[in-house]
A and B are shown apart, each in its own frame.
Chain A
Amino acid sequence: MRYFAYVLALLVTPLSAQADSHNALIEGIVEAHILPGFEALATQSQALSKAAEESCDPASDTLRQAYGRAFDAWVSVSHLRFGPTEVNDRAFALAFWPDSRGVTPRALAGLLSEQDPIASSVTDYAQVSIAARGFYALEFLLYDDRLMTAGEAGYHCTLVQTISADIALTSKHILEGWQSGYAVTMLTPSPDGVYQTDKEVLQTLFKSLATGLEFTADTRLGRPLGSFDRPRPTRAEARRSGRSSRHVMLSLEALSSLAAHLAEGDKALSGKLEAAFERAQSQLADLNDPVFAGVSNPQSRLKIEIVQQGIAAIRTIVRDEMGPALGVAAGFNALDGD
């Protein structure tokens, strides 16, 4: 009998130990990666709103610096697209990009020329097209040659302040969503919950890493790269404020941190990922090309493509090694998405 109990314990322990370690992994990610990221976003967005109240002049250094810090905070959490960011389209309200049809400048020009009174209230402003909200809209008002001076000056000022306040409010709501429930939701899966098991939570975190890498490679780099015959430098993300390359770097830093958490306890995998991230990051730093203007020149273009390939190499490790290690690998058709 005693022997039997011992065998049973042996059989059961590894499974529950794995469950515990998964739960600890999730807790680590929520506490050290997710919550601090959204706290920074809420704090910096609040500071941006305050700076806009003090000076709404697009050329104001204080305003532009506050804008830059808040936008940095967003990019660093922009891969965490689940839960509170998706309620009421909050993430899109902060970041409507890529804007393949140029809706943002059109919507802003419309508001400015009509002096639409909706801009006088932050709560009302949540009703406008999401293309006219968030960091990318604000970038046009602060940095676009035409839109930074368009419209009546007083109205332009109100619009800058309202968009900033709207960003602050949205960021606050996301943080509250995490603090008031979603962190617990991720830490305590249950049959009736959003997540039924730790594995489902891990799958979501894994997916945000994979999707974040894909977005940075294919969109942040892919859109300005265009094709060899038709490079698209004007499609670079946030090029007006000179932030395109910075966004790739910030996202790689954030994704590297998430990857390190997910690979915790697997030394070989961690080392491999760390090296791959470092390689891509140093290749990017060596470019010294803030808005990827080099896409139009064959030689500098090649170097930007190399950064993209570096991210592709990370994606391969994540898909082929991390996925199976976490037990969340997707099948041939499950991965397809068609």
Chain B
Amino acid sequence: MTAQNTGRRRFLGGLLAAGVFPKPTWADVGAPAFLSAAAKPDGSSVLCGVGANLQVLFELPLPARGHAAAAHPTRPEAVAFARRPGTFAVVIDCTTGTQRATLCAPHGRHFYGHGAFSSDGSLLFTTENDYEAGQGRIGVWDTLQGYKRIDEWASGGVGPHDVKRLPNSETLVVANGGIETHPDSGRTKLNIATMAPNLAYIAGGAVVERVQLAAELHRNSIRHLAVGVGGQVAFGMQWQGSGPLKTLVGVHLQGAEVQLLEAPTQALRAMQGYVGSIAFTPDAKAIAVTSPRGGVVQLYDAKMQGQLETFAMPDVCGIAAVGETLTVSSGNGEMRHLLGSTRLLRRLTELRWDNHLVPVA
């Protein structure tokens, strides 16, 4: 028996004694600050709940490599998604460590690894590939009927990756990365020459706004999103072209013009054309992006005042704002606070933290 399990058992015992079982909330599971998929040393995959102090609170097995997860807005329930082109997503009860439901992508679809809940948590939305048509879809699942699939919408583009819900709204924002893939040919990109990424807003099942960048940026795949309290959408890109790169980060407010954030050549170069994750800082004044390829975290002023700071951390990818700090994670097993009074806090585990840290509401 691992220390983890003992911890959980003791913890569950505590819950029983406290008699809080009827309607558990996130605070009951030892209040994880975020979730992250990881690979264990033996190669198996897990989903972990991690506290703000970077302590791993629970570790639940996944059938294969995960990517991101979505935390239910109220219940201690999370959905962990398979890495593309996976077809499973697992609904996990974080109080008991059991699987509540399994979502299987319908025939002809696979997940991209991201999802978002409606504000009341009754619906789950997933980014999916309709790979015969080469078109992105948003799968709609009813959480009150045991995560039954009830609908499907067009994502407004090809290769939808991240999806987020705007604050105080049911509108979804989708990063249509623009890259067509087909599971028969693995992760090979089929349309680099003609790719056309966009940012799409979806309300009531319909695309209500679509934002495309200038033609010369058509190979900048819009991949990851962070939303600010005022509805600002920050997006991180992955450059599929060659030659000089202008930008990897942009900000957009629905109905307004898109703003691309600039950085000095050397700073951009350090990112190696690749943003792995993106987050607003807790004060929303800056946008942080990670690049595992470059082994750096960079902060940009959210009001277009340029690139502010660069932190080095090998294989860094996951990032999330929690409390007054930014937490980052790496494939080498490290988690670290980047800002504020706890910025020296770091913890090294034997887990390889996968791409994303998902904050729990």
Instruction: List the interface of chain A (C-beta within 8 A of B).
Output: 82-83, 86-87, 89, 92, 96, 98, 100-101, 103, 130-131, 214-215, 217-219, 222-223, 225-227, 232, 330-334, 336-338
Contact = CB atoms under 8 A, between A and B. Distances in A.
B156 interface: no
Interface of B: 39, 67, 83-84, 113, 134, 161, 180, 182-188, 190-194, 223, 238, 241-243, 276, 292-293, 295, 314-317, 330-332, 352-355
A333 B355 contact: yes
Max count, chain A CB within 10 A of own CB: residue among B84, B183, B193:
B193
B293 A330 contact: yes
A218 B181 CA distance: 11
B355 A222 contact: no
A217 B186 CA distance: 9
A92 B193 contact: yes
Contacts of A130: 193
A33 to B, nearest CB: 20
Contacts of A214: 186-188
B315 A331 contact: yes
Given A98-B185, A222-B186, A223-B185, A86 B243 contact: yes
B243 A87 contact: yes
Contacts of B241: 86
B188 to A, nearest CB: 5
Contacts of A131: 194
B191 A215 contact: no
Given A215-B188, A334-B315, A100 B182 contact: yes
A223 B84 contact: no
B293 A101 contact: no
A222 B315 contact: no
A331 B272 CA distance: 14
B185 A338 contact: no
Q: Which 4 A-B pairs have the closest CB atoms?
A: A332-B331, A331-B315, A333-B292, A218-B186
21 contacts: A86-B243, A103-B194, A130-B193, A214-B187, A215-B188, A219-B185, A219-B188, A225-B184, A330-B293, A331-B295, A331-B331, A332-B352, A333-B292, A333-B315, A333-B353, A334-B292, A334-B295, A334-B315, A336-B83, A338-B67, A338-B113
A219 to B, nearest CB: 5
Given A96-B193, A336-B355, A331 B186 contact: no
Given A331-B314, A332-B39, A338-B355, A82 B67 contact: no
A338 B84 contact: yes
A333 B184 contact: no
A218 B187 contact: yes
Contacts of A227: 183-184
Nearest to B332: A331
A98 B190 contact: yes
Given A82-B242, A87-B243, A101-B134, A331 B188 contact: no
Nearest to B292: A333
A253 to B, nearest CB: 21
Nearest to B316: A333
Given A82-B242, A332-B331, 4 more contacts: A89-B193, A218-B185, A333-B353, A338-B67
B191 A333 contact: no
B322 to A, nearest CB: 20
Contacts of A100: 134, 180, 182, 190-191
